[in-house]
């Protein structure tokens, strides 16, 4: 949900005002307005209008909690369109009006704000929410901005992506298209603050402080040190966050502590409950390696596709981290090269999308799903997503730390390890910098070489023989983990890994690289129900079904597949005490215990990962 794009645009925009040229490059004029909402609250908005447009043009809207772009620049200033960066300029060069708006309660807008409030206007007469604020904004803009063609679109990345999603619910008649990009979805099941009920500690703590400590600006938590692994470990029980630091003044953190299970609070706040179907054309955009909102675009596309009777619902998935398609070339992430400029490719598609719906340019023929295939490094187009032609093959864990497509035939077989909450496995190579702090490597941890934990005794790996031909996996990955613990609760982290050859001819430095293709955590107490957790029965083997999300990847000939399992992922995931307590936010220090975990690979308890294999 971070503000990376907004910060980048503000910097380049301010610089652009200073160096605006006088040649024939298209110019834009910046103005601002306090746009009134139906309850009298006014929202600050910056407006960039093309200078000397020869015909009316549509309006592009981005709503944000991170500060409207160009807010500090004087009105009636002219800007070179290239100062806006290609994400916008590729469209603006042919004429759009670009509006950036502070949502209520943030920066220069009036009102109050709390993170991700549900839509309520349909059930509470006279209520206001982000949908009604979007409606009022579109209405004012189309009536008051000169030379608009009466059509508007909305787009955004991260939190602004969620605002684009909910702004398209019960839309103003002039709002003709939306593109939610890297938006959050269900905040308990799989985005931002929880994944399968496991709390995302470092992200949840730092982000809520950032947005809610001082609503007039973004705030960095005042950590006393650079490497935060020990700081979070010494924090101890999560009850100490309010006791020592937040003092009950961060509303969203208080919601975390009060709602440890998937109760009515989380369900009401989930877009699954208030975004029913695509009422206007919706382009979902997501990245396979999004460190913040990987699940949102996938989940919301699937949810809305069920009722897409008008063919308005489309999805684009690429090899990106959070919002990477909006900046740079998108030709690599960390040490992984994609060998093509994926950002330019997407930005051309985005232009085609809005040009058709807002200007009537083009034939309107869009592919249902356009998904980059990593490994082969090619864009692929599909008539359905996930593609129906994929055939499910099970990759089974086996004896001697192996895995294969052969189901186990032995009646006995397991591997065990000790999980110690006092010595948790780091989720990325130390140091663990503040999520958005100086030098942070947060943005690339999803492609980090997993050899940094491979040799730990509390990380178990099952590796396949080298492939004799390419293997393409496209669609939904699901892990079926058969495991037991000596404790009464446990977390399970499962990874599907692409192991590079012992000598990689393309790049020797990538030899034996362990590239995670899909990774996810599951909190054991929720194995039967996210609403009603239950303690695990000590030493009883049980099945844990874990959604590893959707991928499109070719494991190349000579590479190996690996299944990796562990039980801590710190501090991105809080420590499970491994002794069942009703509310982990209230766990005592004495509740944190060592436990012996077993992973099974027998005919009765076959641990495996479902792989959708393409011919």
| 293-327 confidence digits (pLDDT tens) | 999 999 999 999 999 999 999 999 999 999 999 99
Where a domain ends, among 267, 294, 310? Answer: 267
Same domain as 15, residue 99: yes
Q: What is the pLDDT, as a whole number, of residue 216?
A: 78
Q: What is the CATH number of the domain that holds 246?
A: 1.10.3020.10
pLDDT in tens, 84-143: 899 999 999 999 999 999 999 999 999 998 888 999 999 999 999 999 999 999 999 999
> Has residue 25 got a pLDDT over 50?
no
**Residues 6 or more apart in contact with residue 143 via CB below 8 angstroms:** none
Same domain as 156, residue 145: yes
Do residues 285 and 611 make contact, with C-beta atoms less than 8 angstroms apart?
A: no
Q: What is the pLDDT, as a whole number, of residue 162?
A: 97
Angle at which helix 295-305 crosses helix 159-167, to 10 degrees, equals 10
Name the pLDDT band for 3 (thresholds 50, 70, 90): low
| Spatial separation of the C-alpha atoms in residues 58 and 333, rounded to whole Å | 34
Strands 542-555 and 471-485: antiparallel
406 HSE (CA, 13 A, CB side): 8
Same domain as 335, residue 476: no
Q: How many other CB atoms are there within 10 angstroms of residue 15's CB atom?
A: 13
| Spatial separation of the C-alpha atoms in residues 209 and 374, rounded to whole Å | 36
How large is the average pLDDT for residues 584-610?
97
Same domain as 471, residue 503: yes
> Has residue 8 got a pLDDT over 70?
no
Same domain as 507, residue 375: no
Q: What is the pLDDT, as a whole number, of residue 1?
A: 57
Q: What is the pLDDT, as a whole number, of residue 46?
A: 98
Same domain as 171, residue 49: yes
| Spatial separation of the C-alpha atoms in residues 27 and 594, rounded to whole Å | 64
> What is each CA distance from 366 to 96, 357, 370, 382, in whole angstroms?
21, 11, 9, 11
How large is the average pLDDT for residues 558-566?
98
* Strand locations in 430-470 (E): 459-463
Same domain as 208, residue 181: no
Where a domain ends, among 227, 247, 267? Answer: 267
Percent of the chain past pLDDT 70, that is, above it, reads: 96
Q: What is the pLDDT, as a whole number, of residue 52?
A: 83
How large is the average pLDDT for residues 197-209?
97
Same domain as 210, residue 295: no
Domain coverage including residue 79: 4-185+270-382
**Residues 6 or more apart in contact with residue 498 via CB below 8 angstroms:** 375, 514, 515, 516, 517, 553, 555, 559, 560, 561, 562
pLDDT in tens, 246-294: 999 999 999 999 999 999 999 999 999 999 999 999 999 999 999 999 9
pLDDT in tens, 413-449: 999 999 999 999 999 999 999 999 999 999 999 999 9
500 HSE (CA, 13 A, CB side): 20
**Residues 6 or more apart in contact with residue 607 via CB below 8 angstroms:** 396, 397, 480, 481, 482, 483, 563, 599, 600, 601
Same domain as 525, residue 400: yes
Q: What is the CATH number of the domain that holds 40?
A: 3.40.50.1820
Q: What is the CATH number of the domain that holds 589?
A: 2.60.120.260
Torsion of Cα atoms, 285 then 290 then 296 then 301, to 10°? 40
Where a domain ends, among 382, 415, 432? Answer: 382
- pTM, to two decimals: 0.94
> Has residue 21 got a pLDDT over 90?
no
* Total number of domains in the chain: 3
Same domain as 155, residue 288: yes
Residues recorded for the chain: 615
Find the farthest-apart pair of alpha carbons in the chain and give their distance in angstroms, rounded.
79
Name the pLDDT band for 12 (thresholds 50, 70, 90): very low
Q: What is the mean pLDDT of the chain?
A: 94
Using CB atoms within 10 Å of the CB of residue 551, give its burial: 0 to 12 exposed, 13 to 18 middle, 19+ buried. buried
Same domain as 544, residue 454: yes
DSSP string, 394-436: EEEEEGGGEEESSPP--S--EEEEEE-TTSPPBSSSSP---TT
In the numeric block, the tokens 């690429």 are attached to 318
Q: Which residues on adjacent β-strands are paired with residue 555?
A: 471
Name the pLDDT band for 2 (thresholds 50, 70, 90): low
How large is the average pLDDT for residues 503-532?
96
**Residues 6 or more apart in contact with residue 243 via CB below 8 angstroms:** none
Same domain as 434, residue 396: yes
Report which secondary-structure segment, H or E, holds 333. strand 332-333
């Amino acid at each position: 949900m971070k503000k990376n794009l907004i910060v980048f645009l503000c910097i380049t925009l301010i610089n652009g005002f200073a160096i605006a040229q006088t040649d024939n490059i298209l110019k834009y004029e910046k103005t601002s307005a306090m746009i009134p909402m139906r309850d009298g609250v006014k929202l600050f908005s910056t407006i960039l209008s093309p200078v000397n447009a020869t015909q009316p043009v549509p309006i592009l809207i981005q709503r944000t909690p991170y500060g409207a772009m160009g807010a500090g620049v004087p009105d009636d200033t002219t800007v070179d369109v290239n100062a806006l960066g290609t994400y916008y300029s590729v469209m603006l060069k042919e004429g759009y009006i670009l509006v950036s708006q502070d949502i209520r309660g943030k920066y220069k807008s009036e009102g109050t704000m709390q993170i991700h409030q549900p839509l309520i206007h349909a059930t509470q007469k006279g209520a206001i929410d982000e949908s009604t604020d979007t409606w009022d904004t579109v209405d004012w803009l189309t009536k008051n901005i000169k030379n608009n063609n009466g059509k508007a679109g909305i787009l955004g990345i991260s939190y602004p992506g969620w605002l684009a999603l909910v702004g398209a619910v019960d839309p103003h008649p002039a709002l003709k298209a939306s593109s939610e990009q890297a938006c959050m979805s269900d905040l308990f099941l799989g985005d931002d603050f929880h994944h399968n009920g496991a709390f995302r500690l470092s992200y949840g703590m730092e982000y809520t402080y950032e947005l809610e400590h001082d609503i007039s600006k973004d705030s960095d938590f005042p950590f006393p040190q650079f490497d935060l692994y020990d700081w979070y470990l010494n924090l101890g029980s999560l009850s100490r966050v309010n006791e020592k630091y937040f003092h009950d003044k961060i509303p969203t953190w208080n919601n975390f502590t009060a709602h440890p299970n998937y109760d009515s609070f989380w369900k009401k706040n989930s877009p699954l409950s208030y975004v029913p179907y695509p009422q206007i054309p919706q382009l979902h955009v997501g990245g396979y390696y999004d460190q913040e909102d990987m699940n949102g675009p996938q989940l919301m596309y699937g949810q809305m596709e069920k009722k897409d009777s008008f063919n308005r619902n489309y999805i684009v998935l690429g090899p990106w981290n959070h919002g990477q398609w909006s900046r740079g070339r998108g030709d690599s992430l960390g040490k992984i090269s994609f060998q093509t400029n994926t950002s330019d490719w997407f930005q051309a598609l985005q232009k085609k999308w809005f040009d058709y719906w807002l200007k009537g340019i083009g034939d309107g023929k869009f592919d249902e799903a356009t998904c980059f295939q990593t490994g082969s490094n090619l864009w692929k187009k599909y008539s359905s997503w996930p593609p129906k032609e994929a055939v499910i093959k099970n990759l089974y864990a086996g004896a001697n730390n192996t895995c294969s497509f052969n189901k186990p035939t032995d009646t006995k077989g397991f591997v065990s390890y000790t999980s110690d909450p006092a010595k948790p496995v780091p989720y990325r190579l130390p140091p663990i910098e503040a999520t958005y702090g100086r030098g942070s490597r947060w943005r690339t941890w999803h492609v980090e070489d997993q050899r940094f934990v491979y040799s730990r005794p509390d990380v178990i790996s099952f590796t396949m023989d080298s492939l004799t031909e390419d293997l393409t996996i496209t669609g939904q990955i699901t892990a079926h983990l058969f495991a037991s613990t000596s404790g009464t609760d446990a977390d399970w982290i499962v990874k599907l890994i692409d192991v590079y050859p012992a000598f990689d001819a393309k790049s020797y430095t990538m030899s034996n690289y362990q590239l995670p293709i899909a990774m996810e955590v599951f909190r054991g107490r929720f194995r039967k129900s996210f609403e009603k957790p239950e303690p695990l029965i000590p030493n009883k083997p049980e099945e844990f079904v874990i959604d590893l999300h959707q991928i499109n990847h070719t494991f190349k000939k000579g590479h190996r597949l690996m299944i990796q399992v562990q039980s801590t992922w710190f501090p991105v995931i809080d420590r499970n005490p491994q002794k069942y307590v009703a509310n982990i936010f209230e766990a005592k220090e004495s509740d944190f215990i060592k436990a012996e975990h077993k992973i099974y690979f027998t005919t009765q308890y076959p641990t495996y990962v479902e792989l959708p294999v393409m011919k």
